[in-house]
Amino acid sequence: MTLLTGIAELTTNADAAAPTATIADAALLIEDGRVAWVGAAADAETAVAARDGGRLSTFGAVTAVSRSEHLEVVDVGGRAVIPGFVDSHTHLVFGGDRADEFEARMTGTPYAAGGIRRTVAATRAADEDVLRSRLAGFVSELHGQGTTTFEIKTGYDLTVAGEARLARLAAEVTEEVTYLGAHVVPEGAGRDDYVDLVCGPMLEAARPHVRWIDVFCESGAFTAAESERILRAGAAAGLGVRVHGNQLGTGPGVELAVRLGAASVDHCTYLTDADVAALAAGDTVATLLPGVEFSTRQPYPNARRLLDAGVTVALASDCNPGSSFTSSMPLMIALAVREMGMTVGEAVWAATAGGARALRRTDVGQLAPSARADLVVLDAPSRRHLAYRPGVPLVHRVYRGGEVIA
């Protein structure tokens, strides 16, 4: 067992009546990789004793390592603790980068989905070991910034064997892999033939490695009819549904996602009132990706409008070489608070519990008894500092399944 004490402010996401509440002067007990108890530090002694046959009733004065071989007491020194970040949207298996496009955008060139084809060429040309070691680098980058659960999409190869290769590599580092054969129609392919391939042999080849299917439903990528056909093929193969929609303008993505019962529709930058109403009435999470607006100079999505309508909102990085080459969830929180009308509590919830909802997970994104012990000890007394001190590395220590990983 490990007892974390000295927590100045604990975010659990576990109080249904007050989802963004915090506990001051808190403690948290970890047992077998899971959260065993959370509460006021003053109650920790009783809680621990109840779990250890009463033998630890005298540990209260100990601040470093306890006398019991069963219990390690870690005093986090007046820092804040939050659940590990759940980044429910990334594209981390790819070759090359597109720094030149980013630079051009900063002087006025607009973002265009066609740039995806450049990364497709670089990814096809990349050796498997190079992709694997690059991915390992991204995983440590994520862990170091407090992300303990993350999703990865395919979509930068767009051939049958190549999409299966990307899915297999992603599955080596996460259980949340998404098949995105429908990212764009590759150069030289006919639209209808390509959609047939995505729904048939390519889906079959990726299937053993993936949990989700996604489609880029946007003008310049796939139409509503094509998207629906692809998503239905994935669902028939047993995959959960996700959608990239409403990124570059209003469009059919949100309506389609809600109608098909997608777990999440991602981007949601341009929404009509009907889209907001559909999201509020449905069961689909709206995942906002402000790294994209930061790096494409589009207007930020209006999170306040969604929250006020009762929509469940998640924040994710969309880390990819084209539209958002950052894996920083603290940056997403800072942008959401500064630019999108979210409170700090809402933004932290969206980056943890919201991401878990978007992946239909209940074992992560919260620090309630029996949840996986995934948490971040911040180098700050309050989670407010995540927005208040943008760009400053505020991750002191990261636990995943009760083990220190960063």
Task: Say whether 246 counts as a known binding-site residue.
Answer: no
318 touching Fe ion, by CB under 5 A: yes
Give me the residue whose beta carbon is nearest to ligand NIG. Answer: 322
Closest separation between CB of residue 96 and ligand NIG, Å?
Answer: 10
Minimal distance in Å, beta carbon 304 to Fe ion?
23
Among ligand NIG, Fe ion, none, partner that 119 touches (CB below 5 to 8 angstroms by kind)? ligand NIG
List the single partner that 115 binds among ligand NIG, Fe ion, none, CB under 5 to 8 Å by kind: ligand NIG
Question: Which residues does 241 contact at the CB level (< 8 Å), separation at least 6?
Answer: 212, 213, 214, 231, 234, 235, 257, 260, 261, 262, 263
- Residue 320 known to bind ligand: yes
Name the nearest CA neighbour of 175 among 382, 359, 388.
Answer: 359
126 binding partner (options Fe ion, ligand NIG, none; Cβ < 5 to 8 Å by kind): none
User: In angstroms, what is the minimal distance from the CB of 101 to ligand NIG?
Assistant: 8
Residues in the site for ligand NIG, rule: CB under 6 A?
Answer: 115-116, 119, 216, 244, 247, 292, 318, 320-323
**8 A C-beta contact, residue 336 and residue 288:** yes
Q: Is residue 383 within 8 Å of residue 375, measured between CB atoms? A: no
Query: Which is closer to ligand NIG, CB of 105 or CB of 165?
Result: 105
Which lies closer to Fe ion via its Cβ, residue 22 or residue 287? 287
Residue 98 known to bind ligand: yes
Cα–Cα nearest to 325, from 72, 134, 74: 134
Our measurement of the distance from residue 119's CA atom to the centroid of its chain's CA atoms, rounded to an integer in Å, reads: 22
- Of 240 and 345, the one with the shorter C-beta distance to ligand NIG is 240
Q: Is 396 annotated as a binding residue?
A: no
> Could you give the 3-state DSSP secondary structure of residue 165?
helix
Which residues is 149 bridged to in the sheet? 86
Q: Which does 365 bind (CB under 5 to 8 A by kind): ligand NIG, Fe ion, none?
A: none
Which residue has tokens 């995983």?
Answer: 139
Alpha carbon separation from 264 to 203, 207, 259, 354 (Å, rounded): 20, 20, 12, 10
C-beta of residue 74 within 8 angstroms of C-beta of residue 2: yes
C-alpha distance from residue 334 to each of 63, 101, 156, 299 (Å): 33, 24, 29, 16
Name residues contacting Fe ion, limited to 96-115 (CB under 5 A).
Answer: none
SS3 193: helix
CB of 191 to Fe ion, least distance (A): 21
- Smallest gap from residue 143 Cβ to ligand NIG (A): 22
Residue numbering of the annotated binding site for N-formimidoyl-L-glutamate: 156, 320, 322
Residue numbering of the annotated binding site for 4-imidazolone-5-propanoate: 98, 156, 183, 247, 323
Q: Which residues of this chain interact with Fe ion, rule CB under 5 A?
A: 318
Residue numbering of the annotated binding site: 89, 91, 98, 156, 183, 244, 247, 318, 320, 322-323
